[in-house]
Structure 1
Amino acid sequence: MSAENALYTILVEKIKQEALVLPTLPEIALKVRDAADDPEINLNAMSDIINQDPALSLGMLKVANSAILGRSVKVETLGQAVTRIGLRQIKSIATAMAVEQVFISENDVISMYLKKSWQKTVDVSSVAIALMTCYLQKNKHSPLALDTLTLAALVHNIGILPILTEAEQHPDVFANPSFLQQAIIKLANQIGAEVTIAWGLSNEFTEIVRQWSDLTVLPSEAHYLDFIRAGAIYHGVFKNPATQEALLRSFVSKGVIESESFMDSDEFKSIYESARTMFS
């Protein structure tokens, strides 16, 4: 049995037995999520919780000062940032900002793979966020929400983590990029869906993670999947030209983008660069 098939077999069997080690959200993200579900929580109390984690606090300031929130006056304090973002959105944004903290490993090969994967996730997410920002400016009554899209985009490929964690347990056999990619392609979506369930995310996120690369699933109306897939096109995840063209045409027909060449425009590139600053 090849190493790739052995890893695949191990992962499938562990999924069946519910024995697969899934990544856990950082404690601060869990605290924020619990607090956000408390009907008695207020902005000051939420700020105190977030302030316990310097990295998350900085992330919140970057989000609050990004152009995607449409504010020109810069906020200087965490309290101001939380007020600007709002309690309704803080749960998703805080979770999204904490996701980077699980992309770590002590194995050199796995660490390299995780860094590349996180960078690709940021690339795809930044495109998705930029496009939805443009979309919501023209569709103010859309049921789609930017904070939901931000979290969905940052976890869309989260399934790679358990795969790489399993490979890390047997580095001499599995820590080889030549077949890790194939294992990820085969299993990442299914495993990623399990991660979203373990993290207590809603079924909406589970389905997005399970379906984002399944192009037999084509929503008839503008959907979070469209924005993530647009990011995948922009950054070469979907490499087939015919697939790219078909998706872009569908995005235009649903109003997700103005034209098939919109992502080449200066307007898009400016918002895209602003979105990226949230993760730099």
Structure 2
Amino acid sequence: MGTENALYTILVEKIKQKSLVLPTLPEVALRVREAADDPQINLGDMSDIIAHDPALSMGMLKVANSAILGRGVKVETVNQAVTRIGLRQIKSVATAMALEQVFVSENEIVSLYLKKSWAKTIEVASVAMVLMTFYQRDHKHSPLTLDTLTLAALIHSIGVLPILTEAENHPDVFANPTFLQQAIIKLSNKIGAEITIAWDLSQEFTDIVLNWSDLTVLPAEVHYLDFIRAGAIHNGIFKNESTQEVLLKSYVAKGILPDIDFMSSDEFKDMHRDVKDMFS
């Protein structure tokens, strides 16, 4: 137990001292974000930046041809994909598509944890994105946007990365995965919020990462948190059945879900499968 307590103490102290090594955004995401903030940027220039990264290019094509954008005529080039997605959304979408590059490690055990974390993140995010897509069809004037939700959902658990990286320096901790899970539960949201600040994301993202699992924070109006929490319910992250029921009923009342069993419907499952395919 001594090593575990020591690791926990190290993490807490490094958070306090702001000395915890935080992951950096992939270079291509930084380039896209910087370009998107340039008032002189045009679709052609943005396409050229994205085209230099094959993985990001493929991700953009999948997004542009997905059900959440209505499909329509299939796009086959990066330029067409960027045109369909639009410059306003491309900043968040590009960042989201590049995030998988952050969930890597040369340590076999850490790599396994990171892969599991990324897989769970995709599950939560894809549910949230599907529900947002259905919601927007009936609430066309909602101020919430799918691109913001996509990025928020994909970084909601980003705080696990520094915890696993720090644990890599203390191999004995892996003898007790229960402790590691507890450290993630207790610390990852706070660390994740620090990452959003380091990445220069807006306060909105910081608040979402900090509060998504804190069920004392219950927005009265429809909020990005609702969609992420619905994804967490669907994937068994909130295990208390009465908590699940209360939340789901509130989402029906808010119009996020047409009924409490919607996530078991074929309509939901079909789009959920399509959205998950964007990340494969």
TM-score by length of 1: 0.98
- Structure 1: stretches of 5+ with no match in the other structure: none
Amino acid in structure 2 at the alignment position of 1:19: S
Q: How many residue pairs align between the two structures?
A: 280
Give deviations 1:114-135, integer Å, cap 9, x for gaps: 0000000000000000000000
Q: Does 1:79 align with 2:79?
A: yes
Q: Residue 131 of structure 2 aligns with which residue?
A: 131
Q: Residue 279 of structure 1 aligns with which residue?
A: 279
Amino acid in structure 2 at the alignment position of 1:157: S
Q: Residue 90 of structure 1 aligns with which residue?
A: 90
* Cα distance, 1:171 vs structure 2: 2.0
Q: Tell me the distance in 1 between the aligned counterparts of 2:176 and 2:164.
A: 10
Aligned sequence identity (%): 74
Amino acid in structure 2 at the alignment position of 1:121: T
* Cα distance, 1:106 vs structure 2: 1.2
- 1:1-280 correspondence runs (5 A): 2-174=2-174, 176-280=176-280
Q: Tell me the distance in 2 between the aligned counterparts of 1:136 and 1:109.
A: 41
Q: Tell me the distance in 1 between the aligned counterparts of 2:252 and 2:180.
A: 35
Quickly say closer, same or farther: Cα 1:173–1:265, change in 2 above 3 A.
Answer: closer
Q: Tell me the distance in 2 between the aligned counterparts of 1:2 and 1:65.
A: 52
* Cα distance, 1:173 vs structure 2: 4.0
Report the 3-state secondary structure (helix = DSSP H, G, I; strand = E; otherwise coil) of the residue aligned with 1:279: coil
Amino acid in structure 1 at the alignment position of 2:191: I
* Cα distance, 1:7 vs structure 2: 1.5
- Structure 2: stretches of 5+ with no match in the other structure: none
4+ residue runs of structure 1 moved beyond 3 angstroms? Answer: 172-176
Amino acid in structure 2 at the alignment position of 1:217: V
Amino acid in structure 1 at the alignment position of 2:91: K
Q: Tell me the distance in 2 between the aligned counterparts of 1:120 and 1:175.
A: 22
Amino acid in structure 2 at the alignment position of 1:57: S
Answer whether contact 1:168 1:175 (CA < 8 A) is retained. Answer: no
Answer whether contact 1:7 1:183 (CA < 8 A) is retained. Answer: no
Q: Tell me the distance in 1 between the aligned counterparts of 2:205 and 2:2.
A: 33
Give deviations 1:59-104, integer Å, cap 9, x for gaps: 0011001010012211000000000000000000000001110000
Q: Tell me the distance in 1 between the aligned counterparts of 2:175 and 2:128.
A: 31
Q: Tell me the distance in 2 between the aligned counterparts of 1:172 and 1:3.
A: 7
RMSD: 1.0
Amino acid in structure 1 at the alignment position of 2:32: V
Q: Tell me the distance in 1 between the aligned counterparts of 2:178 and 2:251.
A: 34
Amino acid in structure 1 at the alignment position of 2:257: I
* Cα distance, 1:172 vs structure 2: 3.5
Answer whether contact 2:61 2:78 (CA < 8 A) is retained. Answer: yes
Report the 3-state secondary structure (helix = DSSP H, G, I; strand = E; otherwise coil) of the residue aligned with 1:24: coil
Q: Tell me the distance in 2 between the aligned counterparts of 1:140 and 1:11.
A: 44
Q: Tell me the distance in 1 between the aligned counterparts of 2:241 and 2:51.
A: 46
* Cα distance, 1:201 vs structure 2: 0.5
Answer whether contact 1:3 1:174 (CA < 8 A) is retained. Answer: no
